[in-house]
Amino acid sequence: MILPPVRDPRFVTIHRGGTLTDSDHHRLALWAAACAEHVLPLFEFAHPGDPRPRHAIQHARAWVRGEVTMMESRAAGGHAMGAARDKQGTARYAAYAAGQAGAVAHVAAHELGAAAYAIKAVRAAAPAGEADAAGRRECRWQRDQLPEAIRELVLDDQQLRDAICWSVFDC
């Protein structure tokens, strides 16, 4: 479970009673897509014939551009998570990262799930004894991709939810 038990109003859009602007919601979706896409080759190398994780990432970006609905992006995310279910290790985590990215259109707080699963994918792919260092490098890469407008929000979210995200954000 990567979502907190109580929804943080900073990740709820203004029109739903929270404080998140549509622009920042879009930024979160694009950042989540970047995190997932960074590890997508780890899935596609093992399962080149399964397009579901790539489609979820594409749908997240298409939602930001207004080309697909929230429901379509969320559904694509669900299909990517379906691709993960019968996999193990690296491929599973990379597919879950893509699924979480697709779900950001529906619930902005899934942004952290995309990042956390991407770090888990990198850790799982690392040679023995190098998983922690690989995870820290991925975490730093992700932080380098954060737009300034959402940087403080995401970093605070990482600190608040690190324990329920397998403590992957210590970088």
Q: Does the residue 4 lie in any domain?
A: no
Q: Does the residue 15 lie in any domain?
A: no
How do residues 21-32 score in pLDDT, each as one tens digit?
A: 999 999 999 999
Inter-CA distances, 127 with 30, 40, 44, 118, 136, Å: 29, 18, 19, 16, 14
Q: pLDDT value at position 156?
A: 97
Low-confidence ranges of the chain (pLDDT < 70): 1
Query: Is the separation of the CB atoms in 145 and 34 below 8 Å?
Result: yes
Q: Does the residue 28 lie in any domain?
A: yes
Q: pLDDT value at position 4?
A: 87
Instruction: Please give the residue range of the domain that contains residue 94.
Output: 24-165
Q: pLDDT value at position 130?
A: 98
Q: Does the residue 18 lie in any domain?
A: no
Q: Does the residue 1 lie in any domain?
A: no
Residues in CB range of 167: below 8 A, 6 or more apart: none
Q: pLDDT value at position 2?
A: 83
Q: pLDDT value at position 1?
A: 63
Q: Does the residue 6 lie in any domain?
A: no
Q: Does the residue 53 lie in any domain?
A: yes
Q: Does the residue 8 lie in any domain?
A: no
Q: pLDDT value at position 33?
A: 98
Both tokens assigned to 16 = 């739903």
How many domains does one find in the chain? 1
